[in-house]
Structure 1
Amino acid sequence: MFGRTILVLLLLWTQDSVKSLRVVELRVPTHEPEGGMALLGCQYDLQGDTLYNVKWYKDGHEFYRYVPKSDPPVSYFPMAGVNVDIGRSSITAVALVNLTQDSSGNYSCEVNGEAPNFATVIRHKHINIHLLPKSGPHIVGLKEQYHLDELVAANCSLPPSRPKAHLMWFVNDRPAPTSYVSDPWFRVSDERPDAVESILQISFFATPSDFVNGAIKLKCQATIAPLYQKKTESTHYIALPFTEANEITGEEKDIATSTTLKNSLISLLIPIFFLILM
């Protein structure tokens, strides 16, 4: 009876020990650009246990292992898209360099305790690798000057990216009315079948309200959240001649001149009239 009690207590103590080992924080970026680097961090709490090793996996395949009692302690298993900088990696961090599309995936940190408990904990996060465009948005189709009621039409395009970009037109620093903008369209890149060029058209007839101090400013913004946002803007002027609201027409000028002459004649006759009466 006493032996069974000891066995149950040992089992309970072992279960408590297994549960005590935990990963405190897993630092894995969710978005990174192609060609860049990513630093993966794994902070753990042994809770009195002894560390046996730390392993890193991508999509279930081990690529990095740190065993404190081994010499050397680091083992690296190369795989597509996973390029480890050993010099910048340690027991709690792994540095990935030269990221590619193949670097996207699910990354896991596994912490293992020593005998007799052999406790194991594992946590994972996903990394998305973006292909950012080589340049900002490009606007084509605009003229330097526009007459009133003239069609203003232009395309805004962004070089290939992955994922596709969100394009947005602005008129005088305000989002363009929906009636001005067509649905976006996308073209698969010949050089990168995994990437697309994004294109958005704006089209409207110029009205006086579209011009501020005789000029209209058009801007195109490209966004690939959360890594990329760039704008391209250009200013275009209303074509002269342009009659301002405070200008008067030729007919109005004739009326004003006639009125002025009448007023002048009256002002001259009034003194003469008073002299005759005296």
Structure 2
Amino acid sequence: MQVPSAVKVGSTVKLACRFDLEGANLYSLTWWRGADQFYQFSPSSADPVIVYDSPGIAVDKRESEGEVVVLHNVSHASSGKYKCEVLEDYPSFQKDSQVKVMEVIDEPKSPPKLSLSKQLWSPGEELKANCTSPWSRPLPELHWYINDIKIPSHDSVLVPLSEHGRGVGSGVGVSLDEWTGVGGDRLSRTSRLTLVLREPHFNAAGWATLKCDATYKRVYHRSAEVHLITPWYKTAAPSQRLYGCAVTVVAGVWLAVAALVPLVL
């Protein structure tokens, strides 16, 4: 079976079921999603291709034939266990099947957002930062990097949903409804980093780069980064010293690099 493990909402997906009957004839090839049959190919029948109604399954009958089934405009309802069943013709009628899982992903509409507790940093200080990936389903993995070196996972924690919306100081709170989305099935995810900054983190010009990656099963990869600026940083233009704004491209995706904004704790 050739079934992708993860695809994006709205995609066109090609499913394939390859087999070798070792000289025997094929009676039927059927496709199932869970307990629902949605496709049957019977080469000796007057109507060799039959498509059955199934929630979340939209078969492109013109593009589907024999071993290949094409689904268009997949949705979350298209996710599930897919089974291909091959049945030999008379006289043996031997049957074999295989199952694979496909997940339909609703990716974030924008890059993650970085928030820092302040703008200027010095070696020896404890950095606190939040990285929030916007609404998606399912939730992405969040990873931190400083100067393109991955920060160990024990330096960060995922913020419980109950803490979303709690602001401190100049931070702006966000209501719980904004985080959970319609029906509570599309959630944002926030990772909170705590890291003691050391002199080697900063280059000779007096700045370091902090980055957060949001990824899920190679279906999407989006990043945001900011410059950590020391008080003696004087080589860049004033706007760059304060905000470090830019746009970069990672894996062919345009990524907005976030400005330094107040940290929500």
State which structure, 1 or 2, has the greater radius of gyration over its C-alpha atoms: 1
* Cα shift at 1:144: 4.7
More displaced, 214-223 or 63-72? 63-72
Distance 2:88 2:36 in 1: 20
| Residue aligning to 2:202 | 211
SS of residue matched to 1:102: helix
CA–CA distance in structure 1, aligned partners of residues 153 and 103 of structure 2 = 32
1:32 aligns with 2:7: yes
Distance 1:163 1:241 in 2: 40
Q: Which has the higher contact order (CA 8 A, sep 6+)?
A: 2
State how far apart, in whole Å, the 1-side matches of 2:80 and 2:23 are: 33
- Structure 1: unaligned runs, 5 residues or longer: 1-25, 243-278
- Counterpart for residue 93 of structure 2: 118
Corresponding position: 1:234 with 2:226: yes
Shift of 1:149: 5.5
- How many residue pairs get aligned? The number is 216
> How many Å apart are 1:59 and its aligned residue?
0.9
SS in 1 for 2:182: coil
Tell me the TM-score normalised to structure 1 length.
0.69
2:174 counterpart residue number: none
CA-to-aligned-CA distance 1:174-204 (integer Å, 9 cap, x gap): 233667x341125462225223211012245
Cα displacement (A) at 1:84: 0.8
Letter in 2 for 1:208: E
Q: 1:27 to 1:150 in 2, by over 3 A?
A: closer
SS at match of 1:183: strand
Cα distance in structure 2, aligned partners of 1:135 and 1:190: 15
Alignment TM-score, normalising by the size of structure 2: 0.72
Equivalence for 2:115 = 140
Shift of 1:64: 0.5
8 Å contact 1:81–1:103 — kept in the other structure? yes
TM superposition shift of 1:206: 4.9
Partners of 1:215 and 1:109 lie apart in 2 by 56
- Between the aligned partners of 2:108 and 2:233, the Cα distance in structure 1 is 42
Structure with higher helix content:
1
SS in 2 for 1:170: strand
Cα shift at 1:142: 5.9
Equivalent residue for 2:262?
Answer: none
Other-structure match for 1:101: 76
Q: The residue matched to 1:145 in structure 2 has which SS?
A: coil
The farther-off stretch of 73-82 and 136-145 is 136-145
For the structure 1 residues 170 and 48, does the alpha-carbon distance in structure 2 shift closer, same or farther, using more than 3 Å as the test?
closer
Q: Distance in 1 between matches of 2:23 and 2:123?
A: 79
Unaligned runs of 5+ in 2: 162-178, 235-265
SS in 1 for 2:211: strand
Cα deviation code 1:87-132 (max 9, x no counterpart)? 2111110011222222121211122233333232222222222222
Structure 1 residue 185 corresponds to structure 2 residue 176 = no
Residue 92 of structure 1 pairs with residue 84 of structure 2: no
- Answer yes or no: is 1:220 the counterpart of 2:194: no
For 2:185 and 2:8, locate their aligned partners in 1 and report how far apart those are by CA, in whole Å: 14
Match of 1:253 in 2: none
CA shift at 1:207, angstroms? 4.8
Q: Does 1:65 align with 2:40?
A: yes
Task: Give the match for residue 197 of structure 1.
Answer: 188
The aligned residue for residue 156 of structure 1 is 131
Distance 1:68 1:206, change over 3 A: closer
Q: Give the CA deviation at 1:43.
A: 1.5
Deviation at 1:154, TM superposition (A): 2.4
Q: Is the 8 A contact 2:159 2:192 kept in 1?
A: no
